[in-house]
Chain A
Amino acid sequence: DTGVSQNPRHKITKRGQNVTFRCDPISEHNRLYWYRQTLGQGPEFLTYFQNEAQLEKSRLLSDRFSAERPKGSFSTLEIQRTEQGDSAMYLCASSEDRGRETQYFGPGTRLLVL
């Protein structure tokens, strides 16, 4: 399977704890996106990487959120001092670096903050 993979698929944590999610994009894809989806809403853009460079961040990405893509391959999204409002599905997508390429999504990581 050469699709986008995300780990873990589910995460339950207590408020105040830190969590880290991982995304492995499709191997030849240079572009990587993180989105967040809450119940009844469509995915909302969080941040974008072109290779290892983080080129765009949404205002949704507070100081408690940080994302990295150190070698231009996999990416991690860390949430520090989690709050109940962080409970959501975190989606990763990747695409080729040629014009208007389709973004392909991973299965997501569902986070529940108690």
Chain B
Amino acid sequence: DQQVKQNSPSLSVQEGRISILNCDYTNSMFDYFLWYKKYPAEGPTFLISISSIKDKNEDGRFTVFLNKSAKHLSLHIVPSQPGDSAVYFCAASAPAGGTSYGKLTFGQGTILTVHP
């Protein structure tokens, strides 16, 4: 079962505009969420995270919004730059304890292309 879903396989945006990447989850135990960016032939690079006690976290051009009731999070990139073109993964984890030790459950990824 796909507990974390990114329903948009790709997104194309003009440079300078806003990019909005979406992610849905089904496991109500998830309480910590992260976004990673991945270039071809490289490992995922951490971008930003959010705990379930918050509904927004901002870091420079990147803002993550969390809607717990809808089990939905989104990543906003403003303004988008051509160097942002990459695959973006959302990931979630449940509290440590029992059989969970902080492993991440990833979505399938969204390919973002920012055109100059």
Chain A residues proximal to chain B, CB less than 8 Å = 4, 6, 31, 33, 35, 40-45, 48, 50, 55-56, 91, 93, 95, 99-108, 110
Contact = CB atoms under 8 A, between A and B. Distances in A.
Interface stretch (B14-22, B61-69, B73-81, B99-107): B99-107
Given A50-B101, A56-B101, A95-B102, A42 B109 contact: yes
Contacts of A56: 99-101, 103
B41 A48 contact: no
B94 to A, nearest CB: 10
Given A91-B43, A110-B41, A102 B49 contact: yes
Contacts of A95: 102
In order of increasing CB-CB distance, the 10 nearest A-B pairs are: A42-B106, A105-B43, A45-B103, A105-B44, A100-B32, A107-B43, A48-B101, A108-B43, A43-B106, A42-B89
Question: Do most interface residues of chain A lie in helix, strand or loop, or is the interface mixed?
Answer: strand
Given A100-B32, A100-B93, A102-B46, A31 B106 contact: no
A93 B104 CA distance: 10
